[in-house]
């Protein structure tokens, strides 16, 4: 395996992605993150049933997804030791439930944390409606390459985490996940074997396949949408958070929220293990 070459990686040309989004894709994504757990809840039903179908705001993060581009041998990244470090999105106009879209991802930064400490790779994706060229949303993502630090790259800059209040949360929402959650969620386009293959997960140091970071992130988004937006996706503008620990499918995710005006600070935990899994979260909603 070649080591990371900073200049090559920061200028890596990630191919543009054209995606034909179907209503089935929109429903499958929502099912994969747990919507429909109560099939009689009208708020959840509109994201998983074709009558009056709407797109979850967090579906932005699977639009124009370039796939595991970092798995190319010339990147110098060890794919088996790659995990999601942070995720964010900002919606420019209501997400469609079907249609052709185009996503272009570019590398915006590579940070060498040092030998045995890994490397951060930051990317930004602009998602547009293919026909009009109008921007639908922009996505930011940080990939943590756990086995690839110490190649001599820059040690910054790194975006400062959003601070959380030290007061007790104003709202708490517990959402369970299914044992097969990762197997369903991967059908929305992220086929990393870390989330499906027990042997592959063991090689990466996990006791079993873990839930996708994007799925954990989306479940936190569901909690915000439910608790503060009354399941109205038009009120959900933006969201970001840092992944701090893996979730195992079947665990319950608790999201704690603090609201100040249009800004929601949040974190998500797995109470059964006493771990924080998504930290320094920040969302923007409309009142």
What residues act catalytically? 190, 195, 210, 213
In eight-state DSSP terms, residue 50 is S
Query: Positive or negative, the Cα torsion across 78, 142, 67, 193?
Result: positive
C-alpha 272/C-alpha 79 separation (Å) is 29
In eight-state DSSP terms, residue 73 is G
Give the neighbor-by-neighbor strand order of the sheet with 275-285: 17-21, 99-112, 119-129, 135-145, 82-91, 236-243, 275-285, 263-270, 252-260, 171-176
Residue 231: helix, strand or coil by DSSP? coil
Contact 158, 165 (CB under 8 A): no
């Amino acid at each position: 395996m070649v080591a990371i070459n900073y200049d090559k990686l920061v200028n890596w040309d990630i191919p543009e992605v054209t995606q034909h989004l179907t209503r089935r894709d929109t429903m499958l994504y929502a099912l994969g993150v747990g919507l429909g757990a109560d099939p009689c809840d009208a708020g959840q039903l509109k994201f998983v049933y074709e009558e009056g179908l709407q797109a979850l705001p967090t579906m932005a993060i699977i639009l124009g997804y370039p796939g595991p581009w970092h798995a190319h041998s010339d990147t110098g990244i060890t794919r088996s030791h790659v995990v999601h470090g942070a995720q964010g999105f900002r919606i420019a106009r209501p997400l469609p439930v079907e249609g052709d879209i185009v996503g272009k991802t570019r590398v915006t930064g590579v940070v060498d944390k040092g030998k045995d400490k890994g490397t951060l790779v930051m990317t930004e994706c602009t998602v547009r409606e293919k026909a009009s060229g109008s921007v639908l949303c922009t996505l930011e993502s940080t990939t943590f390459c756990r086995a690839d630090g110490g190649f001599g790259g820059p040690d910054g800059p790194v975006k400062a985490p959003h601070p959380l209040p030290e007061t007790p949360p104003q709202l708490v929402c517990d959402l369970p996940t299914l044992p097969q959650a990762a197997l369903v969620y991967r059908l929305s386009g992220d086929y990393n074997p870390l989330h499906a293959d027990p042997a592959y997960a063991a090689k990466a140091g996990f006791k079993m396949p873990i839930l996708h970071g994007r799925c954990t992130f989306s479940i936190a988004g569901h909690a915000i949408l439910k608790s503060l937006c009354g399941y109205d996706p038009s009120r959900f503008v933006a969201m970001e958070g840092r992944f701090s620990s893996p979730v195992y499918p079947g665990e319950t995710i608790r999201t704690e929220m603090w609201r100040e005006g249009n800004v929601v600070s949040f974190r998500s935990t797995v109470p059964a293990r006493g771990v924080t899994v998504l930290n320094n979260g920040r969302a923007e909603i409309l009142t």
